[in-house]
Amino acid sequence: MTSASEDQQTGTAPRPVVLGERPLTVEEVVQVARRRASVEIAEAARERMVAGRAAVDSLASGQTPAYGVSTGFGALADRKIDVDSRERLQASLVRSHAAGTGAEVEEETTRALMLLRLQTLTTGRTGVRPEVAERYALLLNEGLTPVVLENGSLGCSGDLAPLAHCALAVIGEGEVRDRQGRLRGSADALAELGAEPITLQAKEGLALINGTDGMLGMLALSIHDLHVLARTADVSAAMSVEALLGTDRVFDPALQEVRPHPGQKASARNLVSLLADSAIVASHRGADCTVVQDAYSLRCAPQVAGAFRATLAHAEQVAAVELASAIDNPVVLDDGRVESNGNFHGAPVGYVCDFLAIAAADLASMSERRTDRLLDPARSHGLPAFLGADPGIDSGLMIAQYTQASLVSDMKRLAAPASVDSIPSSAMQEDHVSMGWSAARKLRRAVDALTRVLAIELMAGARGLELRSPLAPAPATAAALAAIRERVDGVGPDRRLAPEIETMTQLVRGEAVKGAVESVVGPLG
Q: What is the pLDDT of residues 129-142, one digit of tens each?
A: 999 999 999 999 99
* pLDDT tens digits along 299-325: 999 999 999 999 999 999 999 999 999
Which carries the bigger pLDDT value, residue 187 or residue 83?
A: 187
* pLDDT tens digits along 432-446: 899 999 999 999 999
The pTM of the whole model exceeds 0.75: yes
Residue 75: predicted pLDDT: 58
Which carries the bigger pLDDT value, residue 83 or residue 376?
A: 376
Residue 65: predicted pLDDT: 76
Across 329-344, average pLDDT: 92
Residue where one domain finishes, among candidates 165, 180, 211: 211
Element (DSSP H or E) covering residue 40: strand 39-41
**Cβ–Cβ < 8 Å for 495, 391:** no
Taking CA atoms, 516 is separated from 243, 305, 480, in Å, by 19, 20, 6
Please say if the pLDDT value at position 4 is more than 70. Answer: no
Position 494, amino acid? D
Whether residues 147 and 238 share a domain: the answer is no
What is d(CA 452, CA 407) in angstroms, rounded to the nearest whole number?
8
Please say if the pLDDT value at position 70 is more than 90. Answer: no
CATH code for the domain in which residue 73 is found: 1.10.275.10
What is d(CA 242, CA 490) in angstroms, rounded to the nearest whole number?
17
* pLDDT tens digits along 492-522: 999 999 999 999 999 999 999 999 999 999 9
Position 460, amino acid? A
Q: What is the CA radius of gyration of the chain?
A: 26
Across 90-111, average pLDDT: 96
**Cβ–Cβ < 8 Å for 71, 77:** yes
Number of domains composing the chain: 2
What is d(CA 108, CA 88) in angstroms, rounded to the nearest whole number?
31
What is d(CA 136, CA 184) in angstroms, rounded to the nearest whole number?
17
The pLDDT-based confidence of 7 (bands split at 50, 70, 90) is very low
How many CA atoms, within 13 angstroms, populate the side-chain half-sphere of residue 106? 10
Residue where one domain finishes, among candidates 211, 243, 258: 211
Whether residues 390 and 250 share a domain: the answer is yes
Whether residues 99 and 228 share a domain: the answer is no
Element (DSSP H or E) covering residue 41: strand 39-41
Whether residues 261 and 200 share a domain: the answer is no
Residue 72: predicted pLDDT: 66
Cis before 157? omega within 30: yes
Phi, psi values for residue 280, rounded to 5°: -65, -50
- Quickly list H helices, 253-397: 253-258, 262-275, 279-282, 296-299, 301-323, 347-375
What is d(CA 520, CA 498) in angstroms, rounded to the nearest whole number?
30
Across 110-117, average pLDDT: 98
Angle at 109 between CA 175 and CA 34, to 5 degrees: 105
Whether residues 161 and 238 share a domain: the answer is no
Whether residues 138 and 263 share a domain: the answer is no
**Polymer length of the chain:** 525
What is d(CA 113, CA 465) in angstroms, rounded to the nearest whole number?
43
CATH code for the domain in which residue 400 is found: 1.20.200.10
What is d(CA 45, CA 15) in angstroms, rounded to the nearest whole number?
19
Angle at 183 between CA 180 and CA 185, to 5 degrees: 125
What is d(CA 2, CA 405) in angstroms, rounded to the nearest whole number?
36
Whether residues 187 and 249 share a domain: the answer is no
What is d(CA 263, CA 399) in angstroms, rounded to the nearest whole number?
33
* pLDDT tens digits along 29-38: 999 999 999 9
The three state secondary structure string of 412-456 is HHHCCCCCCCCCCECCCCECCCCCHHHHHHHHHHHHHHHHHHHHH
Whether residues 224 and 186 share a domain: the answer is no
Across 66-75, average pLDDT: 69
User: Closest Cα partner for 266 from 280, 251, 286?
Assistant: 251
* pLDDT tens digits along 402-428: 999 999 999 999 999 999 999 989 878
Whether residues 142 and 23 share a domain: the answer is yes
User: What DSSP character marks residue 26?
Assistant: H
Across 164-170, average pLDDT: 97
**Cβ–Cβ < 8 Å for 508, 229:** yes
Across 53-62, average pLDDT: 86
The pLDDT-based confidence of 100 (bands split at 50, 70, 90) is very high
* pLDDT tens digits along 189-232: 999 999 999 999 999 999 999 999 999 999 999 999 999 999 99
Please say if the pLDDT value at position 8 is more than 60. Answer: no
Active-site annotation, residues: 67
What is d(CA 330, CA 69) in angstroms, rounded to the nearest whole number?
9
Largest CA distance in the chain: 90
The pLDDT-based confidence of 85 (bands split at 50, 70, 90) is confident
Taking CA atoms, 56 is separated from 53, 59, 67, 394, 488, in Å, by 5, 5, 11, 72, 60
Please say if the pLDDT value at position 466 is more than 50. Answer: yes
**Cβ–Cβ < 8 Å for 407, 371:** no
Please say if the pLDDT value at position 353 is more than 80. Answer: yes
Output the CA torsion 82→84→87→90 (10° steps). -20
Position 326, amino acid? A
* Beta strand 17-19 pairing with 39-41: parallel
Residue 427 neighbours by CB distance under 10 Å: 10
Residue 158: predicted pLDDT: 85
User: Closest Cα partner for 105 from 145, 149, 140?
Assistant: 149
Whether residues 20 and 62 share a domain: the answer is yes
Whether residues 57 and 108 share a domain: the answer is yes
Whether residues 349 and 264 share a domain: the answer is yes
* Beta strand 149-151 pairing with 145-146: unpaired
Which range of residues forms the domain containing residue 382?
218-423+430-521
Across 467-490, average pLDDT: 98
The pLDDT-based confidence of 74 (bands split at 50, 70, 90) is low
Residue 404 neighbours by CB distance under 10 Å: 28
Residue where one domain finishes, among candidates 211, 235, 251: 211
